[in-house]
Amino acid sequence: MSLRNKVTLIGHTGKEVETVNFENGKLAKVTLATNDYYTNGLGEKVEETQWHNLVASGKLADIMEKYVQKGKEIAVEGKIVYRTFDDKAGVKHYITEIRVEEIVLLGSK
């Protein structure tokens, strides 16, 4: 059996796409909100929002920069990437990102 790091998300973007240009290409970053709904023990409907950091490069970065605005509904497929870095004060930061491999533009926003 082959195991693979793969995630599929559908949600709305939480901000405008940020792009960074490098010598060998472009990087696009945006946040995505996904919502889950459930009924708690008191019979109340509860909405739970999770925020995801999306990162895309190459042609996907170009597509995101051109067509994705704040509030746009999109579907993405990619892989979960964990990384760390130390800031100037020496504090270690942990980041979880979705490295986008496919994107589908949904909705009308």
Domain membership of residue 2 (yes or no) is no
**H or E element that contains 66:** helix 58-67
pLDDT at 1 over 80: no
- Closest C-alpha to 105, from 6, 8, 10, 7: 10
Q: Give the span between the Cα atoms of 58 and 67, in whole angstroms.
A: 15
Q: Domain total for the chain?
A: 1
The chain-wide mean pLDDT, for the chain, equals: 93
pLDDT at residue 18 greater than cutoff 60 = yes
CATH number at residue 95: 2.40.50.140
Token pair belonging to 98: 């979705």
Whole-number pLDDT of residue 107: 77
- Decide: residue 107, CB within 10 A, 0-12 exposed, 13-18 middle, 19+ buried: exposed
- What is the span of the domain harbouring residue 66? 7-105
> What percent of the chain lies above the pLDDT cut of 70?
95
Q: What is the band of 24 on the pLDDT scale with cuts at 50, 70, 90?
A: confident
Segment 40-84, tens digit of pLDDT: 989 999 999 999 999 999 999 999 999 999 999 999 999 999 999
Does residue 1 lie within any of the structural domains? no
Return the pLDDT at 36.
92
Give the residue among 85, 71, 24, 76 at the shortest CA–CA distance from 55: 76
